[in-house]
Structure 1
Amino acid sequence: MSIIQTIRDKAAVLVFGIIGISLIGFLVQDAFVGGGSHLFTAPSSTVGKVNGVAIERESFDERVRAMEAQYQSQGYRVDESVRQEIQNQIWNGLISKELITAEAQKLGIDFTSKEFTELLFSENAPQEFKQQFTDPKTGVYNIEAARNAFKTLQKSKDAAQLRQVNDQLIDPIVLSQIQKKLMTIFTNGTYIPKWLIEKQNAVTGQVADISFVGLSYSTVADSSVNVTDAEINDYIQKHKDNFKQEKSRSIAYVLFNAAPNKQDSANLWNKMEELKKPLAEAADAGVFVTRQGTKSQFFDGYMNKSRIQVPVKDSLFRLSPGEVYGPYYDGNSIVIARMIGSKVLPDSVKARHILIGTINPQTGQPTLADSVAKKRIDSIQQAIAGGASFELLVTKYSDDEGSKAVFGNLGYFPNGQMVKAFNDFAFEGKTGDKGVVKTEYGYHYIEILDQKNFEQAYKIAYLSKPIEASVETDRAASAAATQFASVSRTARAFDENVVKEKLNKRIAESVKDMDYQVTGVGTSRAFIKWIYNNKPGTVSDPISVGDQYVVALITGEKEEGVQSAEEARIIVEPQLRNKKKAAQLVAKFGKYASIDEAAKNTGQQVQQADSIRFADNFKPAFGNELILIGAALNKNYQEKVSPPLAGNTGVYALQVKNLGALPNDAANVEEQRKATAMQMKQTMGYAVMQALKEAATVKDTRMKAGY
């Protein structure tokens, strides 16, 4: 049974997505957090700093664990790749938290307990909270019920429960409101004048016809134009923001494949063929596949048709009870399946419950005698039948601290998410049913609030086996990698042996210290750590990553700062070369008083382009030369020919033949003004955060902390 299911599933957007930050020590009548901050305690170490403020490791780890638990509660497998994504998400969230909190404090922005109360117990309450007290039959939010439940919660002596309410309900709401106030300062300052829209309409409505002459940069040989490092450095210094670089390293590497081969796959297929008959004859299919070590754990229940996602599901749905299908491939596994039965069930159920626990779910140790728990749940059932408040009883007696914080409401959950006895009651009963169910956690009093989307459901036993490399396959790859590494201990030997053994040498540039994968290699923090724990020129021993072995050579490193001329040359050189070519081509144009003279001087033909508009970014006559589009709408060039204009691909001279405007009677200036202002407001949040991050000093020391 997942803890605080509704908040984890539905409020996660607030907690991790929209804000990605959390508040410290917010008090609601001092009842929820015991009068002080609980998120940041005395640090044992730090993982970085934002504008000199330390991000504590304890807080960082706490958030990572919470998000991992959230992923797992929703059925996601938290592997190394997902774990690293979570760590990066939390890291970026803590940076945002510090930046927004600090900026709000500078501006005197706060969200008081009075404001919190007024928000929570009003029609404007956050939907994640509101739905816990909304009558499923009428859809009406019961403000008084919510207020009474909170009053009861305020009297609680359960510190863990109060902390959970603060962490997962109060803090996200408060931060959301502080962020909203901060952004309002900027969005309310947004103003789009009427004249700007009119000017924009006038420009976009213009249309022009031109005559032009062009000389392409390709007419000047690249070899005739020299661009020096000094010129590149001068350009970099004038455009530093465009050439910032992070600390990184580069490697060369070769891979030795240890993936399963055709023989490994064929051997497993034959084995699965042999298991078809025993599966069909097994008295208990679930027990059989479990004993055989199936990759996909046996689900002892019915799964809705729409939730079954296997390659051969249509064939499976046609099976009669007891029939077996397969073998078949499912990704990197081979599967056989036996149909057990089918029935019609809802695909999701909304329920609330009260748990009288008999074990500690963390330790598995007994906490209450079974007979005592049974008597207590029976008393609760009788009390509710007699008219007692469910909300008051769940707050006082329930041992599920998560759902207790939202008064037992689990929200909607899919078939198969809860433990079997709980799941069977919720999905095989009907809306309005109430009853006591015993699970491995204890006794539950359950009320089914709603069921929706009824469809056919199937109970199927899958025997799934992964296609794995045999010992011989793995040994062969390991031996080849070891032999190569042993004779390639220097950069020179590495390169020579790549050629000698006809291996595929690959390059990975800009590997950051907090990356968790190298493109082409796969996910492995251990590999990244090796790259940073050794000096350039070092060759690795074979490192196992996924189904391959990698041998790597550290080829170089870059320090944080501005790129060198050598690093930036590939980008800057073409621009500076074209600038020098432009000067030569401008000289060829010489002096001219008409477009025909410009053509004569350059030996080119006069070309035509019609119906040029401001919104165009490409014209067949001259491609994407935006300088020509802009010049075509310049009325000064209607009476006289333009000077030579340096573009992306050449130098041009033009004469505007006609310049007019298309009618736009449908234009509504006021509506355009409002739409433009709204668009600006919608992008304001991102722009503000980018500005704060660019102005901040962020020190990431997670690598040193062992991550």
Structure 2
Amino acid sequence: MALITKIREKSGVAAAAIAISLILFLVGGDIFQGRSSFFGGSSDVVGEIGGENIKFQDFQKKVEELSQNYTQQAGRGPGEQELAQMREQVWNQYIMDLAYGKEYESLGLSVTPKELVDMVQGENIHPSVRQQFTNPQTGQFDKNYVIQFLKNFKTMPVAQQQAWANFEKSLSQDRLRSKYENLLRMSTYTTNAEAQKEYTAQTAKVDVRYLYVPFYSVADSTIKVSDSQLEEYLNSHKDLFKGQNTRSLQYVTFPVIPSKADTASFYNDIKRLAKELAVTKNDSAFAMMNSDVKTPYYATLAEIPEAVKGQLSSMVVGGIYGPFKNGLSYSIYKYGGVQKDSLYTVRASHILINADKNAPDSVKAAARKRAEGILAQIKGGASFEAMAQQFGSDGTAQQGGDLGYFKNNGGMVKPFENAVFGYSGTGLLPGLVETDFGYHVVKVTEAKTNTRYKLAAVNRTIAPSQSTMDDVLRKADAFASANDTKDKFEAALKKDKSLLMLRADRIQEGATGVNNLQNARDIVRWAFNNDTKIGAVSEVFQNDNQYIVALETGATSKDVVKVDDFRDELTARVRGDLKAEQITKKLGGISGTLEQMAQKYGAGALVETVNDLTLAQGVLTSAGADPTALGKAFGLKVGQKSKPFKGEAGVFVMETTKSTPAPAIADLTIYKNSAKMMAAQRTSFYINEAIKENAKVVDNRAKFY
């Protein structure tokens, strides 16, 4: 499915359509070998795009068609995640048809049959087709595979033919979007003035001295903020505080934990299974049929739990071992001996010092010298793991360089694989290993082996019985019934300290989870139901091995923004303004040098110096990146001192001591191209947002799913 991920990254809305088409088309196997209470309210409108209502029945019919195609090809129904992807595909298809489609039509854009043939089997193969029809032996795209597939197309099942038709439609839409984006992208340009501005921002420099009084130097407790001030600030800064539809909850969890009787019954079951496993002839099939978690019959050392590894040397063929505990799961093993594999397995750690293969020789030499220095320190007694955390340049650094287990099957680049599997035993490799990624300091932590162990494992998890679940459900139901108002709910929590209460603030309408509760759409739908008001107490919800009773404590609306929706942020902003007024007033009555002003002001005032500031990357010492202060620094004449002014997080008095203008430059091409490239990179996102805004897209799917 790496193909699908790449497509999504490249093409936004159109990519989602291609991605799901590929899921439906490819899920049956190798294509060229032929293996192949919804409603939250009374409305039936699932959304609106371009002034057209999308009825739930029509929307759901399209989802069901995709679901049926998936089931026919996969041999099973789609899971919740796959259904969510299908709903997303259908929604994006509506956007393509109703929003993008009108734009394409007005410009006369289309994809001809000839273009489609060219994308599938011509000279300009679409990346999705190219990656799917790749020869597994050569790793290269093979057009003959495409031709072979199309020759056999009419003999394929109807569902697969339809899936291919949908896939081709997605290719056309992707090409249409590319044409549309390219038209707009080519219509943008960068002027010489913009290029000059970019050049100046990167090369003009100033040295500054400044007095800085951060807001945090004034205690919050000394600044009183009233509701009227918050209301006034909100009204004058509405563009900063956009409303959202959210809900806030308190909820009580009633975990379902196996009882003593459940545990005793489980142990009896494990003992019975151990006896039956000991005498069964087909132990692998027995283990498979009686396990909650399936494990391989032939296991490498890497696949065997640590608790079992320690007993391998004393195991005898036909012996029963265990149970071994792993969380709530227990395993019993029947040992069947060993078998030699054609591949070896090893475990190793490394410290990578990056040096790209195309880097200049001087860069490579510096990287090698650094890696040799690290190797020497480890040989001298330094901790490999500590050195990996300090100097490692890839994702393994935080794990002390641990790469885990891997086989000699090409999973690692060849020079690295040869070095590790060519080493006997464990320990630090004496020399560096050079690859296209750079230089590796390597330590083999578990020696290579091609031994596989025959272990028939019965893995069982202690689970609560139905009786136990019923008991907890009755308890949760009694709580919900007895505490059906906000006051009763909160009083019950104060009275019974054993109840576990949690909060969930600002839940989004389309959320699938609530805090760490996964698959909690039923709770979210209840919270957003039109009949659910603030103070309402829910019925009992089941979520995995627990029951939930929720109290709705808050709600925000995208249409009506209130102070309480942003109270903390508003309070911080208003308090900052009040502190700025207080600090500015005090500094306004002080004269002298910056040092004299700081001394007269008292605690909290800092005097700092920063040299070589640029507009593009200017950072002040204590204040950090402050655009207001940065602009003031470039606006002052050399030797000029500003009046006190408010910055992002404090008040400044700025003095520019040196100014170095940007040198004259004859050719601004580099800066013009850089600005143009940055604008082009944003084009796709801005187009998508503009089209959706223009189409006034209203998405009500969260009320139905």
Call closer, same or farther: CA 1:683–1:542 in 2, change over 3 Å.
Answer: same
What is the CA–CA distance in structure 2 between the aligned matches of 1:17 and 1:139, rounded to whole Å? 22
Does residue 683 (structure 1) correspond to residue 682 (structure 2)? The answer is: yes
Q: Name the residue aligned to 2:487.
A: 492
Is the Cα–Cα contact under 8 Å of residues 67 and 78 in structure 2 kept in the other structure?
no
TM-score (norm 2): 0.67
| Structure 1 unmatched ranges of 5 or more | 1-7, 24-43, 348-414, 416-454
1:296 pairs with 281, 293, 296, which one? 293
What is the CA–CA distance in structure 2 between the aligned matches of 1:255 and 1:583, rounded to whole Å? 48
Does residue 57 (structure 1) correspond to residue 67 (structure 2)? The answer is: no
Partner of 1:561, secondary structure, is coil
Does residue 117 (structure 1) correspond to residue 114 (structure 2)? The answer is: no
How far is the alpha carbon of 1:172 from its aligned partner? 2.2
1:557 pairs with 555, 558, 578, which one? 555
Partner of 1:518, secondary structure, is coil
2:511 pairs with 512, 515, 518, which one? 515
What is the CA–CA distance in structure 1 between the aligned matches of 2:298 and 2:63, rounded to whole Å? 38
Partner of 2:210, secondary structure, is strand
Does residue 585 (structure 1) correspond to residue 583 (structure 2)? The answer is: yes
Partner of 1:244, secondary structure, is coil
2:323 pairs with 323, 327, 331, which one? 327
How far is the alpha carbon of 1:306 from its aligned partner? 11
What is the CA–CA distance in structure 2 between the aligned matches of 1:111 and 1:571, rounded to whole Å? 50
What is the CA–CA distance in structure 1 between the aligned matches of 2:609 and 2:649, rounded to whole Å? 17
Is the Cα–Cα contact under 8 Å of residues 21 and 96 in structure 1 kept in the other structure?
no
What is the CA–CA distance in structure 2 between the aligned matches of 1:241 and 1:140, rounded to whole Å? 52
Is the Cα–Cα contact under 8 Å of residues 612 and 629 in structure 1 kept in the other structure?
no
Is the Cα–Cα contact under 8 Å of residues 3 and 131 in structure 2 kept in the other structure?
no
1:408-460 deviation digits (Å, cap 9, x = unpaired): xxxxxxx9xxxxxxxxxxxxxxxxxxxxxxxxxxxxxxxxxxxxxxx887775
What is the CA–CA distance in structure 2 between the aligned matches of 1:96 and 1:593, rounded to whole Å? 63
What is the CA–CA distance in structure 2 between the aligned matches of 1:508 and 1:9, rounded to whole Å? 34
Q: Name the residue aligned to 2:281.
A: 283
Q: Name the residue aligned to 2:28.
A: none
What is the CA–CA distance in structure 1 between the aligned matches of 2:74 and 2:158, rounded to whole Å? 25
What is the CA–CA distance in structure 1 between the aligned matches of 2:220 and 2:226, rounded to whole Å? 13
Call closer, same or farther: CA 1:69–1:568 in 2, change over 3 Å.
Answer: farther
Is the Cα–Cα contact under 8 Å of residues 252 and 506 in structure 1 kept in the other structure?
yes
How far is the alpha carbon of 1:252 from its aligned partner? 1.9
1:475-506 deviation digits (Å, cap 9, x = unpaired): 55334424433331221111111111113432
What is the CA–CA distance in structure 2 between the aligned matches of 1:221 and 1:15, rounded to whole Å? 49
Q: Name the residue aligned to 2:633.
A: 632
What is the CA–CA distance in structure 2 between the aligned matches of 1:157 and 1:288, rounded to whole Å? 38
Does residue 248 (structure 1) correspond to residue 246 (structure 2)? The answer is: yes
How far is the alpha carbon of 1:537 from its aligned partner? 2.8
Does residue 547 (structure 1) correspond to residue 550 (structure 2)? The answer is: no
1:68-98 deviation digits (Å, cap 9, x = unpaired): 888988xxx9655x35753664466346534
1:170 pairs with 150, 168, 171, which one? 168
What is the CA–CA distance in structure 2 between the aligned matches of 1:674 and 1:506, rounded to whole Å? 53
Q: Name the residue aligned to 1:575.
A: 573
What is the CA–CA distance in structure 1 between the aligned matches of 2:471 and 2:274, rounded to whole Å? 32
Is the Cα–Cα contact under 8 Å of residues 642 and 653 in structure 2 kept in the other structure?
yes
Is the Cα–Cα contact under 8 Å of residues 608 and 621 in structure 2 kept in the other structure?
no
How far is the alpha carbon of 1:676 from its aligned partner? 4.7
What is the CA–CA distance in structure 1 between the aligned matches of 2:239 and 2:480, rounded to whole Å? 41
How far is the alpha carbon of 1:20 from its aligned partner? 1.3
What is the CA–CA distance in structure 1 between the aligned matches of 2:512 and 2:52, rounded to whole Å? 26
How far is the alpha carbon of 1:638 from its aligned partner? 1.8
What is the CA–CA distance in structure 2 between the aligned matches of 1:20 and 1:223, rounded to whole Å? 51
What is the CA–CA distance in structure 1 between the aligned matches of 2:91 and 2:239, rounded to whole Å? 21
Is the Cα–Cα contact under 8 Å of residues 345 and 457 in structure 1 kept in the other structure?
no
Q: Name the residue aligned to 2:395.
A: none
Call closer, same or farther: CA 1:478–1:148 in 2, change over 3 Å.
Answer: closer
My pick for the range that moved more, 223-232 or 64-73, is 64-73
Call closer, same or farther: CA 1:501–1:677 in 2, change over 3 Å.
Answer: same
How far is the alpha carbon of 1:693 from its aligned partner? 3.2
Call closer, same or farther: CA 1:703–1:663 in 2, change over 3 Å.
Answer: closer
Q: Name the residue aligned to 2:389.
A: none
What is the CA–CA distance in structure 1 between the aligned matches of 2:48 and 2:646, rounded to whole Å? 46
Letter in 2 for 1:657: T
TM-score (norm 1): 0.66
Letter in 1 for 2:472: A
Partner of 2:16, secondary structure, is coil
What is the CA–CA distance in structure 2 between the aligned matches of 1:16 and 1:631, rounded to whole Å? 40
Partner of 1:516, secondary structure, is coil
Call closer, same or farther: CA 1:181–1:540 in 2, change over 3 Å.
Answer: same
How far is the alpha carbon of 1:545 from its aligned partner? 1.8
How far is the alpha carbon of 1:272 from its aligned partner? 3.1
What is the CA–CA distance in structure 2 between the aligned matches of 1:204 and 1:290, rounded to whole Å? 65
Is the Cα–Cα contact under 8 Å of residues 320 and 333 in structure 2 kept in the other structure?
yes
Call closer, same or farther: CA 1:125–1:475 in 2, change over 3 Å.
Answer: same
How far is the alpha carbon of 1:528 from its aligned partner? 3.1
What is the CA–CA distance in structure 1 between the aligned matches of 2:309 and 2:663, rounded to whole Å? 58
1:117-136 matched pairs, under 5 angstroms: 117-130=117-130
What is the CA–CA distance in structure 1 between the aligned matches of 2:130 and 2:311, rounded to whole Å? 42
1:344-355 matched pairs, under 5 angstroms: 344=341
Call closer, same or farther: CA 1:244–1:117 in 2, change over 3 Å.
Answer: same
Does residue 462 (structure 1) correspond to residue 457 (structure 2)? The answer is: yes
How far is the alpha carbon of 1:116 from its aligned partner? 0.9
How far is the alpha carbon of 1:700 from its aligned partner? 3.2
Q: Name the residue aligned to 2:644.
A: 644
What is the CA–CA distance in structure 1 between the aligned matches of 2:551 and 2:140, rounded to whole Å? 65
Q: Name the residue aligned to 1:426.
A: none
What is the CA–CA distance in structure 1 between the aligned matches of 2:71 and 2:302, rounded to whole Å? 23
1:628-658 deviation digits (Å, cap 9, x = unpaired): 3443333x24232112110233222121223
Letter in 2 for 1:213: L
What is the CA–CA distance in structure 2 between the aligned matches of 1:204 and 1:309, rounded to whole Å? 57
Is the Cα–Cα contact under 8 Å of residues 598 and 607 in structure 2 kept in the other structure?
no
How many aligned positions are there? 565
Letter in 2 for 1:639: G
Is the Cα–Cα contact under 8 Å of residues 213 and 595 in structure 1 kept in the other structure?
no
Q: What is the aligned-residue identity percentage?
A: 23
My pick for the range that moved more, 648-657 or 525-534, is 525-534
Aligned residues: CA RMSD: 4.7
Call closer, same or farther: CA 1:581–1:103 in 2, change over 3 Å.
Answer: same
Is the Cα–Cα contact under 8 Å of residues 345 and 456 in structure 1 kept in the other structure?
no
Call closer, same or farther: CA 1:148–1:283 in 2, change over 3 Å.
Answer: closer
Call closer, same or farther: CA 1:477–1:131 in 2, change over 3 Å.
Answer: closer
1:293-442 matched pairs, under 5 angstroms: 293-296=290-293, 322=318, 326-330=322-326, 332-338=328-334, 342=339, 344=341
Call closer, same or farther: CA 1:346–1:208 in 2, change over 3 Å.
Answer: same
How far is the alpha carbon of 1:236 from its aligned partner? 3.3
Call closer, same or farther: CA 1:478–1:135 in 2, change over 3 Å.
Answer: closer
What is the CA–CA distance in structure 1 between the aligned matches of 2:69 and 2:327, rounded to whole Å? 30
Call closer, same or farther: CA 1:46–1:112 in 2, change over 3 Å.
Answer: farther
Partner of 1:251, secondary structure, is strand
Is the Cα–Cα contact under 8 Å of residues 206 and 657 in structure 2 kept in the other structure?
yes
What is the CA–CA distance in structure 2 between the aligned matches of 1:67 and 1:241, rounded to whole Å? 45
What is the CA–CA distance in structure 2 between the aligned matches of 1:138 and 1:648, rounded to whole Å? 58
Q: Name the residue aligned to 1:402.
A: none
Call closer, same or farther: CA 1:569–1:297 in 2, change over 3 Å.
Answer: closer
Call closer, same or farther: CA 1:46–1:219 in 2, change over 3 Å.
Answer: closer
